[in-house]
Each structure stands twice: as C-alpha cells, then as structure tokens.
Amino acid sequence: MRDLFFRWPRLTILVIALLTIGGLTALDALPRQEDPEVVPRYGDVKVYLPAASAMRVESLVTEKIEAALSEVDQIKHLTSRSQTGFSAVYIELDDDVTDSDPVWTLIRSKMTSVRLPDDASVPEVTVGTTAAFTYLVGLTWHLDEKIQLGLLRRLARELEQRVVAFPGTREVQLYGVPEEEIEVSVPLSVLASKNLTTQDIATAIRGADVKVAAGQVQSERSNLVLEVDGELESLDQIRRIPLHRSAGGELLRVGDVAQVSKRLREPQATRVLVRGKPTVVVAIKMADGRRVDRWVAGLNDLLDRFRATMPEGVEAETLFDQSRQTAQRLGSLLGNLLLGAGLVVAVLFMTMGWRTALLVASALPLTLLAVMIVLGFLKVPLHQVSLTGLIIALGLLIDNAIVSIDEYHKGRRRGLDRGHAIRETVGRLFVPLLASSATTALTFLPLTLMPGGAGEFVGSLGITVVLSVCFSFMLSLTVLPAIAAYLDRSGTATGEAGGPRSLLHDGLSLPRLSKVYGRLVAASLARPSLGILAAIVIPASGFVAAGSLVPQFFPVVDRDQFQLQLKLPDNASLEQTAEAVQVIRGILDEYVGVRDGVFFLGENPPRVFYNVTLADDPAPNFAAGFVETKSADDTFEVLRTLPARLSDALPNAFILALPYEQGPPGGAPIEVRLSGPDLEVLSDLGAQIRRILSGTRNVTYTRATITGGRPRLVLEPKLDEATFAGFTPVDLANALNSTLDGVIGGSVIEGTEELPVRVRTTDIDRTSVERVVSVAIHSPSRDVLDGRVATVASVPLSVLGDFKLVPATPLVTRRDSERTNTVQAFVTPFTLPSVALADFRQRLAESDFRAPPGYRMSFGGETEKSGEAQSNLSSVFAPLALLLVGGLVLAFNSFTAAAVIVAVAILSIGGGLLSLWLFGIPLGFIAVVGCMGLVGLAINDSIVVLSALRHDPAAVAGDLDAVRRVVMEGTRHVLSTTLTTIGGFAPLIIWGGLFWPPLAVAISGGMIGATMLALFFVPPVFVLMSRVRRRPARPA
C-alpha cells in the first residue's frame, strides 16, 4: 500500500485531474468579499417616554428593562442611556454565542412582558450588524435651480423598489430622505381670535378622513361591503372641511383659518451632504454567499437602466463600491501569494536543483486546489483573512514535500529501486511527518475554535492553514513520491555520492562554507553544553527584549478612506451642524490627497467598513461620514495634520478624524469607568479624570457620559390659576407639544405613499421663544361645584405658569445595572493607545485622585478588548497544547524526546519576540497569533532531525561522527524549509500593509532561531541523552 500510487499510475492521474477540475470550479464559485463577517452580538432596546426627565426614565423604564434582560443567561454586558424622554439599553452577548438568532428571539419575548408606563412606547429591539454595505448611490440635484428634494425622494423610493427585486440583494436603506407631509399651518393670532386649538383642527380633519369599513349588508343572495365615502384625496378637500358654525350661521372651514400645502417637513430631521449639496443616498447590501464582483456588475447594469429614465437635473453617482475595495485588497494579496510562490520555487532551485525544485513545487498548486474544494464545502468566502492563510501556508505545505522527496533521493542513492525507495520513504517518514503536521495544525487550530469576535475574524486563517498542512501531508506521502519515481528513469538518482554536482541539477553547493559549518557542528557535539548555550542566545535575547515591546490590540487598516465624526453642543440645530460640515469640507479641499467626503447629518451613516463604532447616538447636532483619499499613503499624510486643524477651526465641537481599524468592533481606545450611586459625585470624578487625560500624551479628545446639568427651558405651572382655568399640568404639556410639533390629523394617499396631515402653528410662531411664552390656549373648564362644563376664553401660558432656565441632568448611564460614568479618550491617529494609557496611569498615580468609599474605577477600551481576546485564545490553546505534547510522546514513544521538542517550541517564541523588537513592531493580537503559529512551525525541523538521529544506530550508540553525519545530511532540507517559509512570508513583510507584518515577522524571524535550535540545540541534547543512557549504574 505504501507505493500504491506508483504501482497504479492511472490513480495518480485521476487524483490530479479531480483536484484540478474540482479546485478550479470551487475557486470560480467561492464567494468574494473584503472582510470576514462576525456574529451579531450587539443590539439595543429603545423606548420613548415623552416629557419624562432622565431620572424618571431611568427608574420607570431603564431599570425595568435591565431587570428583564438580566434573566437572559447569554448576555455578557448591559449598558444603558437614560435621557429626557428616551431610554436605550445596549446589549452585548457572550463570546461563546455562535448562533445569536434564538437569543435575540428570547430577548424580544422578554420585552413583551415588561410593564412600562401607559404613555411609554413599545420596546423596540434592534440587532446590530458588522456587515458593511456593498454599494452606495447618491441622487443629487446638479442644476442651478432650487433643489428638488421631493423629486429626489420619489426617485430614491423608485430605485429602492428596483434594487430590492434584484437577485442577491439583502438589504436596502435610504439616507437623507426628507419627510413629505401635508401641512395645515395656522397663525397663533388666528387660533386665539377664533377660539381654536391645533388639536381642534386636527380632530376635525381626522373625523373627515374615512378609512374604515362601515360594515356589511348581508342577505341570502348577496354580501355587500358598506363604506362611507370621504377619504382625503386632495388639498382642496382638506380646505373645505368645516370646523364650526358662527353665530351668524356661517361655516368656518379649515381653509378660512389655515394655509394647506404639501411640503417637506421642516426642520429637516436628517441630511446627507456630498460636495456640499443635499443628497439622497440609497445604501445596498449584498446577500451572503455571492461574488461581490459579479453581483456589483449586475447592479451597475440595473443602475444604467435607471439612469436612462431619470429626469434632467438629477445625477445618480456611485459614492461607494465595495467590489473596488475587495478587488484591491484581494488583488494585492493574490500578488503576494504569487510572489511568495515564486520566491519559494527560487529557494528550492538554489538549494535542490531545477528538477527537484519543480517536483517539490508541484505540491503548491495541488494542495491549494484541494483546499479550495473544502473551502467551497465549508462555504468559507475568499477575503483578506482566508487568502492570507493561503500565503502563510506557502512555506508550511512545502516542508513535507521537501523532506519526502529528499528522503526518496537518499534511498535511490543507496541503490534502492524506485518502488523500494518509495516504500522506505513512506515507512520512515509517516510518523515524524504526521507528528510535525499535527503539531502545526494544532497550533493554528485555536484560531478556528477561539470564541468571540476576534476569533471569528481570524478563524478562516486557521481553517486554510490547517487544511493546507493536512493536504500537504497526504500528497507528500502519496502523489509526490509517485511523480518523483515516474520522472526518475535513471538507474540511480542524479547527484550520486562522489559524482560531480552542478547548480542547475543539484542546487547551490558551497564546499568551503560546508567545511566551516561541519567544524561548528562537530565543536557543538564535542562540547554539547557550550553548543546548547550558544543555540539559546537568540531565544533568550528575545525573552529579554519582550519586556520593552509595546502592547497593541489590532492595527489600523491601510485604506484610501478614513472616518470622520462631529458633535456640536447639545442645543445645536441641523443647520448649524451643516455649517460646521461646510467648514470641514473647506479644510479637506486644501489637501491634495483628498478626493471627496460624504457626510450624514442627524443619523448614523451606513457602514462602508465592518468595524465602525460611532461616538454618539444620532441627533441634529451629530454628523458622521467617510472621506475618500487617493491612496492609503494619502490617508496617512492627511490624518497627520487634519485633527489639529479641525480642532482649531471648530473649538467648541467634538471631532474625530480616524483611520478604520481591523478586528472586532470596540469603543474608544481608552476608557475609564467610574461606578457608584450618586450622579453628582460621578460627574465630579469624571471631571477629575478628564483633567488628567487632557494632559496625557497623544490624547486629542476626552468626554464623559455623565456631566454637570445643562440649562433647559421649563414651565412651572401655577397650580391655582391653572386649576381654576380647567388645566392640569398634562394639559399644558400637550398644548405646548401641539403648538411646537403639531398634531397629526388623518392622511392623504398619494400613489403608494401615505402622507400625514400635520396641523401646526406657523414657522415664525414655533421658532421664537418669546412667541412660545405668549401662546394662548383654551380648554373646557369644569366647575368644581356643580360639574358644569363651559368654554372659557383663551389664556396665555404666561398666566398659567412661569418659564425658567434650570439645570438638569441630561443623561444617566449605567453598566450592568449600576450607574457608571464612562470617560473616553481618543488618541492621535496612527499612535498606540497603550502608550497614552501608560502615561495616563503614571499621571493618575502621581495625582491626588481617590475614589470615595462606595465608588470604584475600572478600565475598558482597547485594554479590556485585548485582554478578553487573548484570554479566549489561551483558553482554547491550553488544552490543544496538552494534546500536542501527548501526540509528541506517542510519536516518539519517549517522554524525554517529547520534552526536547517542547523545549524547542518554547525557545522558538523568543526568536519571534526578538524579531518583533528588531523591526519595532508592537506586541499585538496578530503578533501573538504569529508567535503561537511559530510554535507549530519551529518544531518541524527539530522533529525531523531528532527522528533521524533516533533511527541511526551509530548515532544512538553515541558515535559523534555518526551524529555529525546525520545532522549534515539533514541540513539541506532544514535550510530549505526555513528559507521557503521566509520566502513565503516575505511579500507580507514588505507589502502586507499594516495588518499582516506582525504575524509574518514573528514567524519568519522565529524560524531563523528555530533553525539554530534544530541544528545546534537538538543534536547536543541528543548527545547528552546518549551519554546518560550509556552511563553505568552505580553499584548498590
């Protein structure tokens, strides 16, 4: 069976054909996207409680929702915001939740049983997603005439319907869409003179808008639906609605007291600005399991057909196209893959000659094709992480092939025929190659099994590496030896001992260097203790240097885009926010490297990158968006100076200009949580922390969730006067609300849309504080003695109450059911948060800050996320490490031999740490993954060397010449595997951007140290072990 593929050539041809056809078919069908998707573990519950203060919202709504959610075991953390009239509870699920749909269903079920105040809205559960939108289309008016926002709105709705019906569309959302309505505008003076309220007019219109069935006329022979004709259909119909009859008998109609018009609702709640022009954006998200390039090509055809039907003056512009980003990202990685493969083949040519190099290199396409087939079955898309896994696998999957072919040639040089050489190769290498492949797979398997967002982000990397190693092992002991035998038609292999050697046929030969190397090996064997000490110099230096490595979670992404967020003071209007955005645009226009920016005002922007964390909830004073640059280098150059310039231009604004970051979503890079019962104390503690942070290195902005009270306009009722006039405090609140926001009275159906009819006072009456104070209202007054009802004259609000500016708590935030003031700090782009955090900790220790009894301080941000991710990784890696050790013990049938390999594994990490220190790379999560993967790679050569020594009887007997011979014979494939590994990683080191170099440097640099361990640590240790075994036992 060992030479089955050699004896049955048709089987070999069939396997190669199946791998080729199946792999290419799977490669063509595999979905393509820019980044991996993460399980939606974040969501929120939102409830509105009109006119309630933040404290009342906390006690009446937030605490009840938190109590119900605390019964859900899968919830990891609850954070909440209670503010005037609104409650939001944010949910984070446990990392081990892999299917979140049942959990969210349970949460929705819990919300239906929560008892809230009667005037509170129904709890709305929203599940967050990390999936970015695939395509953004902006509809813009580009003529000099007045912008037709209503037209843009209708065109956006039409495009939405077309895209929803397009195959493969997952979601469509509209942004910057103005709300259209029928407005019935009444001056306050007219209301007062006619003794009317906006509620009276709205009631009359609602009564005339018949949209309900009037029953059925049923008989034995017929069944007729009865309706009352009167559904509102036009503006004139609204104008003719009667209100009441005057003393002279004349009807007073809506049109007599109000202006009725169809218009966009003012003030506009949201807005999108592209090049300073209002734009309606259609955001489109592709369904899972599709190739983004082909799907976008079909979508572009649909858009071209839609553009042909658009009226003059409207332009449909592509604002974002993920297929372009995906093509750039995957194209760069594919180039790195091909370049890495080329370097691997070049190394093989230099070390083994052209014939052997091509034979060994055939393992690359065969293994990658096999991996593609399995990725297709597992439905793993091609994105930057899975493709990088293939690049990492380049140097790994070739190791088995090198050892296998080299061992076959050794057998042929000993005079064995081809079949015998294959059988001996497979028999001798099966266990050591299985052990080395298994250990490599086990060190990358934790990436696949690791829970949480970080594990899901890098999980496909582990899948591709494990699959590559497994298929490499199988092919190296089946197909490749058979191919080597088919191509070997001579009596013995080329390069027979004593024959002439050439670079073309046998690879590079350096006799003088070989002699020097041989003397070094002999010296290390003659004095094994010194050899061992020399071999561990590099690892020991790495462990010493590790203390100076700066920690990091995930690096930023090199991308021709960056994000921008703006928040003005709380009382700022949407118009003021738009003015601030225009200031920002003016500054951006001065940068040559900036193409354009898209800004979303008053609403959260669509995700154009999976990892976007907004600094605030949407409000009129909030804007966010993305800026496109000409290249990733331009992004870096712009962000070096832009934040400071924006801060100088808008000193009262909170502005973040940040690069996008890799890894799972997170909050601010530095977070300090202050927990305790009293809001004033929490606010004071937060102010102290902010003062310390403001002087911290690299910190640009700070903010706290609980701050001092801001002024608000309050009407304090005069209860005696109000009661005598027939008003309750609720009546006053309703009167103010109907005056400012208006009252909905029916609706008009226009096409497929339902336009609300809003009755409100005129714009000038609503936008002036003085006019609001002088609002005159009336209400039925009930005589407290006999209960008779009489209509009283209009009464000014100033008579019924006093208007005052009073401080109020704007926001109450909680974490895990405890009041918590979270102080956030943001750092200069492309600087390490850990540096700022270390400086802050030192300043905090030197300050007089002390949390009083009953209050505590904790840290969140990057420190917390990084700790959780590494803890999850360690929890998976620990049992697999034990399994790895157990496998080594079984493979060698020796605890001592397994201990030698484990020592190599530990020492190799030092080489990886030293390489990180030499390159000035932080010790982030990706670097930790690299060091972990290094363990599996570093021990492979040592396993092969130790196995060869244990199979040589003379070496086992302690013959130093025999040990030296075995080491010298194994040096070529040890150096070949090391150089091919480094060659495969070289493109990632040089052109891997900011994300992958930490991993590539850790593994490549560590492999150099691992080579020293395999050649100068393992043999001396083996010699010492042999001496111990030969030492005679002491007499009793």
Yes or no: say if 662 and 556 are a contact pair by the CB < 8 Å rule: yes
The structure tokens listed for 683 are: 């606010």
| 701 assigned to some structural domain | no
Amino acid identity of residue 113, one-letter, is S
At a CB cut-off of 8 Å and minimum separation 6, what does 45 contact? 65, 69, 88, 89, 91, 107, 111, 123, 124, 125, 126
Strands (E), 544-609: 561-567, 594-601
Q: What pLDDT does 503 receive?
A: 55
- Burial group, residue 324, by CB count within 10 angstroms (0-12, 13-18, 19+): middle
Q: Element (H or E) spanning 512, and its range?
A: helix 511-526
Domain presence at residue 1022: no
If asked whether residues 740 and 785 sit together in one domain, one would say yes
Nearest Cα to 536, choosing from 674, 528, 147? 528
Token duo for residue 102? 């049942």
Angstrom distance (rounded) from CA 883 to CA 878:
9
How far is the C-alpha of 879 from the C-alpha of 867, rounded, in Å?
19
Q: What is the DSSP letter of 894?
A: -
Under a CB-based contact definition with an 8 Å cutoff, are residues 553 and 862 in contact?
Answer: yes
Q: Are residues 190 and 54 in the same domain?
A: no
Query: In three state form, how does the secondary structure of 25-89 look?
Result: HHHHHCCECCCCCCCCCEEEEEEECCCCCHHHHHHHHHHHHHHHHCCCCCEEEEEEEEECCEEEE
DSSP state of 1035: P
For position 750, which CATH number holds? 3.30.2090.10
Please check whether residue 449 lies inside any domain of the structure. Answer: yes
pLDDT under 50: residue ranges of the chain: 493-498, 780-792, 1036
Q: Taking CA 734 as the corner, what is the angle to CA 733 and CA 740, rounded to the nearest 5 degrees?
A: 90
Same domain? 323 vs 333: yes
**298 and 174 co-located in one domain:** yes
Contact 539, 911 (CB under 8 A): yes
Question: How many CB atoms are located within 10 Å of the residue 800 CB?
Answer: 22
Both 365 and 438 in one domain: the answer is yes
Residue 649 in tokens: 């231009």
Within a domain: 817: no
Reduced to 3 states, what is the DSSP secondary structure of residue 224? strand
The residue out of 459, 487, 515 marking a domain boundary is 487
Which pLDDT belongs to residue 787?
A: 37
Residues 245 and 329 grouped into a single domain = no
992 in a structural domain: no
171 & 291 share domain: yes
CB 314 within 8 A of CB 151: yes
Supply the CATH number for residue 72's domain.
3.30.70.1430
Residue 310 domain-assigned (yes or no): yes
> What CATH number has the domain bearing residue 6?
1.20.1640.10
Using an 8 Å Cβ cutoff, are 582 and 642 in contact?
Answer: no
CB 397 within 8 Å of CB 469: yes
Q: What integer pLDDT is reported at residue 438 of this predicted model?
A: 86
Domain identity same for 26 and 157: no
- Is cis: bond before 267, omega within 30 of 0? yes
Residue type, 301: D
> Do residue 379 and residue 463 come from a single domain?
yes
Q: What are phi and psi of 253, to 5 degrees?
A: -105, 165
Q: Determine contact, residues 272/278, Cβ cutoff 8 Å.
A: yes
First to last CA, the chain: 51
Q: Are the CB atoms for 945 and 1018 separated by under 8 Å?
A: yes
Give yes or no: residues 142 and 100 share one domain: no
Helix or strand or coil: residue 282?
strand
Half-sphere exposure of 255 (CA within 13 A, CB side): 10
- What is the reported pLDDT for 886? 86
pLDDT tens sequence across 234-274? 888 888 888 877 666 778 888 888 888 888 877 788 999 99
Range of the domain at 78: 39-129
Last residue of a domain, one of 808, 840, 864: 808
* DSSP tag of 547: G
Q: Is 282 exposed, middle or buried (0-12, 13-18, 19+ CB in 10 A)?
A: buried
Q: Are strands 856-859 and 561-567 parallel, antiparallel or unpaired?
A: unpaired
Q: What is the DSSP letter of 117?
A: -
68 and 146 in a common domain: no
Domain boundary among 294, 311, 343: 343
Residue 556's contacts (CB-CB under 8 Å, 6 or more residues apart) are: 659, 660, 661, 662, 829, 830, 994
Long-range contacts of 91-95 (CB under 8 A, 24+ apart): 91/42, 91/43, 91/44, 91/45, 92/41, 92/42, 93/41, 93/42, 94/41, 95/41, 95/451, 95/452, 95/453, 95/455, 95/868, 95/872
Domains: count for the chain: 4
pTM for the complete prediction? 0.83
Q: Are residues 170 and 284 in the same domain?
A: yes
724 part of a folded domain: yes
Assigned domain for 977 exists: no
